[in-house]
């Protein structure tokens, strides 16, 4: 079985500057640490690195750092950090990022931004620059912001957008699981109605603070399948974020892999597509 981890983070707070790392997150998670978390029963494993939210002035430095360890970490492509609402500065940043061959897309982390930013004129202008390069956009939002990304998809229909972590729905915990909300289901289907959109089956363990069960996650995975169909789904580990609850949990990456693999088999979803060909096609990797 071949696997593309479509959502992998790497960071080193002693090499780059971050403002959000604290507690068990505040440590080095890079190629050596990832080596200890290889997936079981996999014949080939590669990954898409997704920006780990360095401070803004270090976005290019982060890409250069990942390039240095990419072979050891089996990173075949990079989704770089960018602020798309910066006008000429955004265009300049995209030009600098294009000097790195592994860059295939960008992520402007939206989950902490004001409502409506993704649909603003400034953001749409930046998103058009991304689309003009043939790059992708990773949308990391909370559930109430999904409709903003749908508006972005309508404004820039040629932009390939993937919704990270299913839009971060409230999932509860293993002891107190929640069902998918009507609002999240509505907005997920609204986003999926745009033809170039995809979704990552990733990040749900982090939304449960690491306390989750496969049965708890099944309704959310089913909802994604119902909205997007089997050909616009991709698996991601969200390592190491989804491996950290109150402390780092060794083996959590493999546990999420097994849960989604078993779910996909039970639903007749092609493992080759979910874990390999769909993410490669979306990110334009050959």
Residue 269 belongs to domain with CATH number: 3.20.20.140
Per-residue pLDDT band at 246 (split at 50, 70, 90)? confident
The sheet with strand 75-81 has its strands ordered as 2-8, 44-50, 75-81, 103-107, 136-139, 160-163, 197-201, 233-235
Residue 168: alpha-carbon gap to chain centroid: 11
Per-residue pLDDT band at 247 (split at 50, 70, 90)? confident
Contact 190, 226 (CB under 8 A): no
**pLDDT of 102 above 90:** yes
> What is the tens place of the pLDDT at every residue in 138-167?
999 999 999 999 999 999 999 999 999 999
pTM above 0.95, yes or no: yes
Please report, for residues 11, 23, 31, the alpha-carbon distance to residue 27 in angstroms, rounded to integers and kept in the order given: 8, 9, 13
**pLDDT of 111 above 90:** yes
Per-residue pLDDT band at 35 (split at 50, 70, 90)? very high
Provide the pLDDT for residue 210: 87
Q: What's the total number of domains in the chain? A: 1
Cα separation, 72 vs 14, whole angstroms:
19
* Domain encompassing residue 241: 2-282
The mean pLDDT of the chain is 97
């Amino acid at each position: 079985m071949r696997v593309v981890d479509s959502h992998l983070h790497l960071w080193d707070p002693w090499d780059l500057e971050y403002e959000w790392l604290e507690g068990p997150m505040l440590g080095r998670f890079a190629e050596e640490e990832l080596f200890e978390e290889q997936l079981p029963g996999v014949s080939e494993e590669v990954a898409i690195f997704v920006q780990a939210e360095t401070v803004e002035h270090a976005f290019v430095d982060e890409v250069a750092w990942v390039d240095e360890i990419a072979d050891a970490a089996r990173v075949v492509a990079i989704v770089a950090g960018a602020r798309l609402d910066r006008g000429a500065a955004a265009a300049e940043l995209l030009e600098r990022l294009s000097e790195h061959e592994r860059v295939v897309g960008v992520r402007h982390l939206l989950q902490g931004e004001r409502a409506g930013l993704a649909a603003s004129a400034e953001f749409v202008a930046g998103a058009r620059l991304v689309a003009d390069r043939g790059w992708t956009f990773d949308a990391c939002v909370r559930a109430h912001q999904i409709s903003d990304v749908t508006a972005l998809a309508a404004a820039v229909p040629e932009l390939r957008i993937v919704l990270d972590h299913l839009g971060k729905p409230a999932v509860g915990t293993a002891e107190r699981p929640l069902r998918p909300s009507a609002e999240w289901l509505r907005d997920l289907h609204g986003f999926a109605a745009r033809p170039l959109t995809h979704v990552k089956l990733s990040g749900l363990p982090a939304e449960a603070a690491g306390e989750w069960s496969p049965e708890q996650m099944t309704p959310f995975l089913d909802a994604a399948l119902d909205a997007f169909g089997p050909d616009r789904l991709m698996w991601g580990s969200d390592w190491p974020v989804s491996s950290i609850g109150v402390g780092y949990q060794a083996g959590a990456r493999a546990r999420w892999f097994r849960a989604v693999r078993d779910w996909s088999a039970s639903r007749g979803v092609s493992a080759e597509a979910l874990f390999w060909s769909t993410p490669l096609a979306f990110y334009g990797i050959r």
